[in-house]
Structure 1
Amino acid sequence: MNIAAIILAAGQGTRMQSDLPKVLHQIGSAPMIIHAMASANTLDPQQMIVVTGHGGQQVANAVGDWRDDVSFATQDEQLGTAHAVQQAAPALDGFDGDAVVLYGDTPFISGDTLAAMQSARATGAAVVVLGFDTAQPGGYGRLIVGPDGLEAIVEAKEATPEQLAITLCNSGVVMADAATLMDLVNAVGNDNAKGEYYLTDIVGIARSRGLTCAAVTCAEQETMGVNSRVDLAAAEAVFQWNRRGRALDEGVTLTAPETVFFAFDTHIGRDVSIAPNVVFGPGVTVETGAEIRAFCHLEGCHVAEGAQIGPYARLRPGAEIGGGARVGNFVEVKNAVLHEGAKVNHLTYIGDAEIGKRANIGAGTITCNYDGVFKHKTTIGDDAFIGSNSSLVAPLTIADAGYVASGSTVTTNINAGDLAIARARQVNKPGLGARMVARLRALKEKS
């Protein structure tokens, strides 16, 4: 069956105390709304509609960075959730299929839960509402379920004592035939304390028309909404806990799981070993058998099979680390390729470069890639050797098996097998060192 996803993302989120739209605050290095979109993607929707309001252009830009076929609707006035869903009607004109309503600030709805809602639709429920059981129902709306399905959603402030004792609560997630959904929301009124149009009212309207409604339940954690910085921190903790568990289940070794932080799109292969205090930013793939040692930070990079990173290494966007290559302590790599077996073991910066197979880069080497206006590339061939404390001034090519003497500042290309020495000749002054120290000590005694 065709399905469309409507993601509500118009709220300002005043409790976040931020100029940034609430749904753009990040969990796992990705905006919350991207997590909601990922949930919707499990249904393979034919259409995805994001309803924006506060900071709408910012939200649209962020969404467009992740998926380029999203439609947008604008809720100029925040008049309630039913009103927000109404704004998606033009985008659904002529659409034949179901629609699911999700929320940009509710990032953890699982694909299995949405599939269960689809199953309830397939067995005849005109409207399916997602609920959850909780020991502390508080101000949540209660789902009233009877012999013939979901009978009503009662807001806590309007509930009787008996209804308040119900622990099955409303998440706000709804699925229905798209045309039916729009017909129902168009019938919602705003005769309530806030004068808003509530999506929850569609259940009562549907029942009054003889339509069957059903409730599907999920774990409470899936329905976690984010309305404050405290909620955001809690959601980040939930994301990391779940992601670490998934990594362990997939054959990744985490020495101290609670100290490793993943991003939304981190991909880790089997038999990868990750030591304590490692942070993965967006866009990282680590292949089978690689080792990430302690206190490393990786983002926008690819680490091939059997490579060894760290400790205390930083891989920045564009870093491509080949099979069996080594990037050691206090090494930074940016927009550079290290081919198979290359070694950059100590205190080194490699930027805008290509390092050949089995090349060895000595401690303290830097590629001088920036002239203040443009970036330039350094190319180092297979089996080259760069001595410690060398400065390689790009643009520069060092051919296969080229050798750079320690302490050199290299500005000219080096041919295959050549040795480059680019440093001033050492001059020793007999006895001058001792005389200088004696003079300085005498000055210190007089002061």
Structure 2
Amino acid sequence: MTTDIVILAAGQGSRMKSALPKVLHCVGGKPMVKHVLENAAELGSVQPHVVIGHGAEKVRETLADAAVTFALQTEQLGTGHAVAQALPALDPAGVSLILYGDVPLTRSETMAELVSSAQNDKLGLLTVKLDNPTGYGRIVRDNGRVVAIVEQKDANAEQLAINEVNTGIMALPNRWLIDWLPQLSSDNAQGEYYLTDVIAMASERGIEIETQHPSCEQEVQGVNNRVQLAELERWYQAQQAEQLMVNGATLADPSRVDVRGHVSVAGDVIIDVNAVFEGTVEIGKDVQIGPNCYIKNASIAAGTVVKANTVIEDAVIGEACDIGPFARIRPGTELATGAKVGNFVETKKAKIGPGSKVNHLTYIGDAEIGSNVNVGAGTITCNYDGVNKSKTEIGDGAFIGSNTSLVAPVSVGAGATVGAGSTITKNIDGDELAVARAKQVNLSNWQRPVKK
């Protein structure tokens, strides 16, 4: 049976002080509402419905690639009213799990327990006990049975002393939603239609309300302002760092590593401070990552050393490579085994062969370099003529002297040598020496200009 997932994402989030809808603010580099969708997708057969309102078009654009249906809440009249907007799209014979776009870290395992309750004709309710329950709806029990949820503004002194609170997350058969939501009243301190009122309706009808509890508070922590967003981010990053260490990485300081995607490590990896990983990153055995490195959508094979302040994006790094410090490896770069890219070197859409060295102050773009090539300091491949990009090819064992300009399209044959300071515009055959620079002129008895 397909489970309907109703995600409430219509709120303005005024306390965020932002033009961006609250649910699109990121935790771990991903919009909060995407966390919710991805975690829910792990349940298996689901149909997500996202209730949108403030910033609706931006939310639609962000989720354009997701298989979701949208329901528009033109007026924000409470959580019960929000869920009612999704009713026409729900399967009358199915069950719904109600989630929130600004509560991003609820685990799929927790969700599954709630759905199981609903599939057994119970109302599954997620509650949590807090040391400071201020602001939350209180769970009212009678002889252990949940009988109601009372919101903070409507609670009396006895109810305010309760520390078990409502997370807002619940699962129940859709036929109950269809029956109960039209009966909700806005006769309360907020003047809103509370979804939580269905708890009292269920209790009055003798329906069992089965409570589940999260593994920790952060699973159900919502975000209302940027302070809470930062707190949740740090907790999330602490979990990512812990997982890296469990998988075999040594972190110089676990509090100074950020994961904004997925990182896999093969073991005996060393990661220094202020490393940022984005997208999908695969790190092989015995890799060392220096301080202040940014790595995005890349694979780094065993034994490679990435030195300080290096940026690697959308690249494939072979075994035992040596990169940096201050190197920039741009998209499309492939480094073969033992390649070296040194300080202040930039590569883009370049294949650098086994054992080749590009050590200093060099730009290699749209190029294919063979094995055991030495590229001298200050060399550039002139790959762009103002309209088109062209390719440079350098054969095995070639030696490119310092401060060389290789004007593409051009090829340098295997074993060829290019003299320092050359501007190469024609192909060079293998084992040839090419020198292309202005003739040096020395003037004797030359008087240096002086200030007047």
For normalisation by structure 2, the TM-score amounts to 0.88
Deviation at 1:251, TM superposition (A): 1.7
In the aligned structure 1, how far is the partner of 2:113 from the partner of 2:47? Answer: 20
Unaligned runs of 5+ in 2: 384-389, 424-436
In the aligned structure 2, how far is the partner of 1:288 from the partner of 1:145? Answer: 54
| Alpha carbons 1:390, 1:406 under 8 Å: kept | yes
Partner residue, 2:363:
366
| Alpha carbons 1:145, 1:215 under 8 Å: kept | no
Partner residue, 1:27:
27
For normalisation by structure 1, the TM-score amounts to 0.89
Residue 279 in structure 1 maps to residue 292 in structure 2: no
Partner residue, 2:190:
194
Deviation at 1:425, TM superposition (A): 5.2
**Cα shift readout 1:334-359 (whole Å, capped 9, x = no counterpart):** 11121222110221010122222222
Deviation at 1:19, TM superposition (A): 0.8
In the aligned structure 2, how far is the partner of 1:293 from the partner of 1:105? Answer: 35
**Cα shift readout 1:28-87 (whole Å, capped 9, x = no counterpart):** 11111111123212322421111111111211221234xx32222211211111111112
Q: How does 1:2-401 map to 2 (within 5 A)?
A: 2-65=2-65, 68-93=66-91, 96-121=93-118, 124=120, 126-147=122-143, 149-218=145-214, 219-316=216-313, 318-335=314-331, 336-367=333-364, 369=365, 377-394=366-383, 395=390, 396-401=392-397
SS of 1:152's equivalent in the other structure is strand
Deviation at 1:97, TM superposition (A): 3.2
| Alpha carbons 1:296, 1:312 under 8 Å: kept | yes
| Alpha carbons 2:96, 2:174 under 8 Å: kept | yes
The letter for the 2-side match of 1:53 is G
Deviation at 1:426, TM superposition (A): 6.8
CA-based RMSD of the aligned residues comes to 2.2
SS of 2:15's equivalent in the other structure is helix
The letter for the 1-side match of 2:60 is A
Change (3 A) 1:233 1:432: farther
| Alpha carbons 1:401, 1:416 under 8 Å: kept | yes
Change (3 A) 1:4 1:164: same
Deviation at 1:107, TM superposition (A): 1.1
| Alpha carbons 2:154, 2:189 under 8 Å: kept | no
Deviation at 1:271, TM superposition (A): 2.5
Count of residues in Structure 1 that have an aligned counterpart in Structure 2: 426
| Alpha carbons 1:125, 1:214 under 8 Å: kept | no
Deviation at 1:150, TM superposition (A): 1.5
Unaligned runs of 5+ in 1: 370-376
**Cα shift readout 1:225-271 (whole Å, capped 9, x = no counterpart):** 11111111111111111211222122211011111111143334432
The letter for the 2-side match of 1:315 is I
Change (3 A) 1:33 1:268: farther
Change (3 A) 1:267 1:76: farther
**Cα shift readout 1:120-158 (whole Å, capped 9, x = no counterpart):** 446x56211111111111121101233463211111222
Q: Which structure has greater strand proportion? A: 2
Partner residue, 2:418:
420
In the aligned structure 1, how far is the partner of 2:415 from the partner of 2:94? Answer: 68
